[in-house]
Chains A and B, each alone.
Chain A
C-alpha cells in the first residue's frame, strides 16, 4: 500500500514542516477518513526527521570546528581576512554515512570525506572566482573544474583546495593528488597545507593506494595538526 498522488502534496507539506493551520486540519481529517494512511505518513515523517537530525548534527560538528578556531578574545565584528582564515581551518566532519558500519574502502572514504566547505563570496571579488565557487557549492564539480582551471595557485591557494575537491568528487583521484601536492609544496600557509595534506590522504584512499594513505596519515599524526585526531581514527580503521 502506498500514498496516493492526490494526497501527496498535503503530506509533503507535513513532511517539510510547511503546513498551514488549515492544512493541519485537512491532514487530521484525511487520516481520520483513511486510518490506514496514518502509519505510512508517520513512517515517512520518521525518515525525513532522521535525515533532518543528522544534517543538524553534522552542521553542529562543522560549527564547533569554526568555534574552536575562533580566538577566545575578540571584539565586535571580525575582519574579512579572519573569515577566510577560519574557513581555511575547517576540519572535515564525518559525513552522512557516519552510522554505517561497512568496511569497504569506498564506504570508509565516504565516512571521512566531506567536500571542503564552500565559503561565502565577498562582494567585489573577481567574477571568475564567484562563478567557480557558486558551481562548487551547487555540486556542479565538472563545470567548477573548468572555472577554477583558469585560476593559478598564486591567485589564491585556497581555490586549489576546491579544485582538488572537484577532482575527488568527479572520481579522478590522480588529478586530485597532483593538485593537493602542489598546494603542499608551494603554499606558505600552514593551515592550507594541513588541509591539503588531509585531502591528499583521502585522495590516496580514493585511489585505493593504502600504502601512501597510511604514510600521509602518519605524517599528519606526527605533525599534531588540526587533522591529527581524524587521521588517527582513519588509520586505526585501515589497520
Chain B
C-alpha cells in the first residue's frame, strides 16, 4: 500500500476491507504511541481507539461524508483524539460498559434523522432477532442484503457478483429476500 489517499477512499468505497488491514499495520504505532503520550491512556485503550477510529473513517467514507483524505495518518490520529474525548464525556454520563455491537447500533440510530426527530426507541433486542432472522434466509439472500443495504452496491454490481441473469432479477430477489427477513424478524419479535 502506498500513501495514496484517493486510493484509500476508493478502496474503502468498494468494500475492500484489506485496505483497513493495511492502515492498521501502517499507522498503529504512530497512533497508539501518540495517544499514550498525548492523552495518557493505556496501550490497550489506545489500540481500541485506533481501531474504532478506522471504523469511523470507513463509515464516513461509505456515508459519502468524506471524499478526500489529505493526510491520512494525521486524520486518523485526529479521529482517535476526538473519540477519546467523546468517550470521556460518555463515561461521565454512564458507567455501564456496553458491547461494541450495542454501542454501534445505538450510535447509528442516534444519528438517524427519523429516530432523532421522532424520539423512536431503538429496541436493542433486535440485534439478536435480526441475526436469528438472517439465519432463516439462504446465503445468497444474505449477500444481496449486505451488498445492497450495507455496501450500497448497485443492482448491476450485485447481478454480476452473484451471477443473476440481469439487474432486474437481482432487484426482484433483493425485494423477496428483504421481505422474508423483515417478516421473520417481526415474527420472532412477537413470539
Interface residues of chain A, those whose CB is within 8 Å of chain B, are 2, 8, 12, 14-18, 24, 27-28, 31, 38, 41-57, 59-60, 62-64, 66-67, 70, 72-74, 77-78, 82-83, 86-87, 96-100, 117-120, 138-140
Nearest CB on A from B170, distance (A): 13
Complex formed: what's the CA distance from A60 to B52 in Å?
Answer: 7
The answer to whether A42 touches B115, judged by C-beta atoms less than 8 angstroms apart, is yes
Q: What B residues does A86 contact at CB under 8 A?
A: 21, 25
Q: Give the residue among A42, A50, A97 with the most B Cβ atoms within 10 A.
A: A50
Give the nearest-CB partner of A24 in chain B: B113
4 closest residue pairs by CB, A with B: A50-B130, A53-B104, A120-B18, A53-B105
Q: Given A55-B150, A83-B25: A44 and B2 within 8 A (CB)?
A: no
The answer to whether A67 touches B28, judged by C-beta atoms less than 8 angstroms apart, is yes
Q: What B residues does A46 contact at CB under 8 A?
A: 109, 122-123, 126, 130
Nearest CB on A from B8, distance (A): 12
Complex formed: what's the CA distance from A70 to B22 in Å?
Answer: 10
The answer to whether A77 touches B26, judged by C-beta atoms less than 8 angstroms apart, is yes
Interface string of B119-159 (1 = CB under 8 A from A): 01011001111111111000100110110111010000000
Complex formed: what's the CA distance from A179 to B104 in Å?
Answer: 38
Interface string of B1-43 (1 = CB under 8 A from A): 1110000000000001111111011101100000000000000
Complex formed: what's the CA distance from A8 to B101 in Å?
Answer: 28
The answer to whether A14 touches B47, judged by C-beta atoms less than 8 angstroms apart, is no
A-B contacts, 19 listed (Cβ < 8 Å):
A16-B150, A27-B114, A28-B117, A42-B115, A47-B185, A50-B127, A51-B130, A62-B21, A63-B21, A64-B51, A74-B25, A74-B28, A78-B25, A83-B25, A97-B134, A97-B135, A99-B132, A100-B132, A100-B135
Q: Which of A16, A48, A51, A70 contacts B28 (CB 8 A)?
A: A70
Q: What A residues does B120 contact at CB under 8 A?
A: 42
The answer to whether B51 touches A2, judged by C-beta atoms less than 8 angstroms apart, is no
The answer to whether B131 touches A45, judged by C-beta atoms less than 8 angstroms apart, is no
The answer to whether A47 touches B182, judged by C-beta atoms less than 8 angstroms apart, is yes
Complex formed: what's the CA distance from A83 to B18 in Å?
Answer: 10
Complex formed: what's the CA distance from A20 to B103 in Å?
Answer: 26
The answer to whether B28 touches A120, judged by C-beta atoms less than 8 angstroms apart, is no
Interface of B is mostly: helix
The answer to whether B16 touches A57, judged by C-beta atoms less than 8 angstroms apart, is no
The answer to whether A57 touches B149, judged by C-beta atoms less than 8 angstroms apart, is no
Interface residues of chain B, those whose CB is within 8 Å of chain A, are 1-3, 16-22, 24-26, 28-29, 47-48, 50-52, 54-55, 58-59, 62-64, 99-102, 104-105, 108-109, 112-115, 117-118, 120, 122-123, 126-135, 139, 142-143, 145-146, 148-150, 152, 161, 163, 175, 178-179, 181-182, 185-186
Q: Given A41-B114, A55-B146: A66 and B24 within 8 A (CB)?
A: yes
The answer to whether B2 touches A72, judged by C-beta atoms less than 8 angstroms apart, is no
Q: Given A43-B182, A64-B51, A99-B128: A49 and B101 within 8 A (CB)?
A: no
Nearest CB on A from B132, distance (A): 6
Q: What A residues does B179 contact at CB under 8 A?
A: 2
Q: What A residues does B25 contact at CB under 8 A?
A: 66, 70, 74, 78, 82-83, 86
The answer to whether B148 touches A16, judged by C-beta atoms less than 8 angstroms apart, is yes
Q: What A residues does B134 contact at CB under 8 A?
A: 51, 96-97
Nearest CB on B from A159, distance (A): 16
Complex formed: what's the CA distance from A15 to B109 in Å?
Answer: 11
Nearest CB on A from B119, distance (A): 11
